[in-house]
Structures are given as structure tokens and as C-alpha cells.
Structure 1
């Protein structure tokens, strides 16, 4: 009996320690729904010319249980070819918004709880790498119930210019403090390697 208990405990421990299988997306598809893995759904989608060939491409937020991705695919022949896939926060406070002003993909997302993070990430198709390059991001941390100060960080990932704006909670109002201008290291970042908003804000766990 004791041996059986030990064996069962060992099996349970192995089950807990087993890594979660990575979600797999096809590289090519005839249409957007074909990209979506079983058990996942399309949260929001956009059709816009992202690689400036005059043909509408596709971007979509695809979500499942405890997982969420931004996928970008360009039109090629009669189908679509994936050029970007990045994991994003799995627990939004609403559906993300996708737009493409002047061919630049913009995703706006609100996540968190009473203390929330509002983020805007801008991606531009880079022909040399055939990937979606991050060119800028704006991230804001604030209290939805006015419990603490707010901070906004805007970063130009092409020039490295960064502006940090603190808004001091005074009574029931947020009072803007003097913006701080700094520089960050310039490096090519892509949809797959974009920094997490919480890390940029310095509130990551």
C-alpha cells in the first residue's frame, strides 16, 4: 500500500511538472480561419495593406484558454503567409483594437484589473527580414479607481527616444509632472520579441 502511494505521488508530481505544449500555427493558410488552432477563436481581425503591394493583408488577435496571440499574414497568391506571431497578455479587459494608419499596424490593448495597463504597439513590415518590426510603443499604468499615481512611457524603437510622464494623484485628479526624456538602446525588435508592457513600466513580477 505504501509503495502504491509513493508511485501515485510520483506520477502526480510528474504530471504537474510536465511542460505545457506550445501552440502551433501553420506558416501558410488559404484563409485566416485555417491559421486558428483547435480550441481557439478569433477575437478581432483587420484587413489592410501592410507590405505595400496594393493587396490587403491580414492581422488578427487569436485567443484560447489562458493564451492569446497577435498574428500577421501577408497575401501571397491565393493564400496567406504568416510573417509575424507574438504572444500577448491572455487576460484583457476587453477586445483589442487593430488599425493600420498609413500601413503601420497598431494594436491597442487594455489589461489588468483595478490597476490597469493600456498599451499601443506599432509594427511595420520589414521586407529585408520578412517580419513585422516594432517601431514604437506607448504604455500606461494607472488605477481605474484612483488609488495611485499613473505613469506613461512612450518609446520610439527606431531612434531610441523615450519620454516618461508621471501623473501624480492629487485628491481625485491626476496632475502631470515634468516629462523626462531619455534614450534606450536601439535594436531591431519584432512582433515575436517585443518587450512586455509591464517590463517597460517596471511593474513586472
Structure 2
């Protein structure tokens, strides 16, 4: 069974904290350190490094995968008066049936996760997060979620959604199998509407397909 974020956090805090010399950069987590935290049958599917909390030091997002489960973790650098190290920023479960490794990237303080799962009928989900300061410490906050369900063989129609969680602005479209003889989709019945703004931290990330279904049924 994949270990909980609490256990991983304890290992990070005990194993990665060190004295903070003036002007020194906080070194990023090594691949070996991450490998030391996982259990038999698990692997690091993918990792991405970059500055998420604006301190100039390297933060890390990575996916731990086993045959039955996939989990994304974010580890943020921290710097105090006497020490510096790493602390958990958030985690959530990805769908367990990937059609290839997730795509992680960090750019301008935004963590983007692109994940394709399923089979002939596929779910494409893109999650975007920013680090937020809370009374309980830094936490990754969901700011955007895009999702589409479609047939990889164009055997049926599909649906797609783009949801700006920070503003509530949402766009949905029907993906209609092309009738022109080509293998593709035509985008029809595009709707734009606004959902109530919600604060959603990474641990509470909703299922992409469920949000897509809800958005396409919204009036």
C-alpha cells in the first residue's frame, strides 16, 4: 500500500533539513532521496522541478505509481532563520489507468499536470495549481481544470470542459464525430457560463470526469 503523505512528510522533514548558511541555495531533492521513500512495487513515474513558492529555490512535484495506484506529491522548499529544507505542499490521487506517464511542468509559479487515462475511451485531464499561504502553512491551490472524454478510435461523440477555478469561468463543448470523412471531431454547442468561485486545495481536487459531467449538465 502506498505510504501516506504524513509519513512522507515526516521523512522529508527529518532527512532533508539542514543549516542555512547565508546566501546559499536550498539544494533540490535528489532522485535517490525520492527513491528511498517509496516501497517495493512502486516507482517514480515522473518528476518536475521549479520555483512554486517564489523563494528562488527549487521545489519538486513527482508521481509515485504502483500497479494499482498513482499519487502526485508536491514538496516545497522552505528557509528559516536557522535551517532550510523541504516541506509538503499537497498531494492527490491520479486515475490508476494511465495511457503513458503524466506530463508535469512548472512555469511562472504554476504547476501543470496533464494526464491521459482510460482505454479506447480516454479521459484527458489538465490540472493547474499555485502555492497559497494559509495559517497552516503553504498549500497548493487548484486554479484550473480542463477535461475531455472522447474515443481514441472516433467510435462515439465526446465532451470537453475548461474551468477557470479562480474566476469560475467555464466553457463546455460537444465533440461530435466528424461527418466529413476524416478521423476527427467537430466542436459544437459551445457554452460559456460562470460557476461559484471555490477554494480547492490539492488534497480536495475533484474527479475530472465528475466535474466534466456536472458542467455539461449545468443550465
TM-score range, shorter chain: 0.7 to 0.9
Bigger mean CA deviation after superposition, 36-45 or 181-190: 36-45
- SS of the residue corresponding to residue 192 of structure 2 reads strand
Q: Give the match for residue 192 of structure 1.
A: 203
Deviations 1:127-174 (CA, angstroms, capped at 9, x unpaired): 125110000011011100111112110001111110001121133442
Secondary structure of 2:108's match?
Answer: helix
Q: In 1, distance between residues paired with 2:199 and 2:151?
A: 32
TM-score by length of 2: 0.77
8 Å contact from structure 2 (residues 150, 175) kept in 1 = no
Q: TM-score, normalised by structure 1?
A: 0.82
Query: Does 2:178 correspond to 1:170?
Result: yes
> What is the 5 A alignment of 1:55-204?
55-76=57-78, 77=83, 79-128=85-134, 130-171=138-179, 172-202=183-213
Q: Is the 8 A contact 1:142 1:148 kept in 2?
A: yes
Counterpart CA distance in 1 for 2:2 and 2:199 is 25
Residues 123-132 or 164-173, more deviating: 164-173
Aligned partners of 2:209, 2:123: CA distance in 1, in Å? 8
Say if 1:24 and 1:37, in contact at 8 Å, map to a contact too: no
Q: What SS does the corresponding residue of 1:146 show, helix, strand or coil?
A: coil
Q: Distance in 1 between matches of 2:59 and 2:37?
A: 14
SS of equivalent residue, structure 2 residue 55: coil
Aligned mates of 1:154, 1:174 — CA distance in 2: 17
Equivalent pairs counted in the alignment come to 183
Q: Which has the larger radius of gyration?
A: 1
Shift of 1:195: 1.1
Other-structure match for 2:55? 53
* Structure 1 unpaired stretches of 5+: 1-20
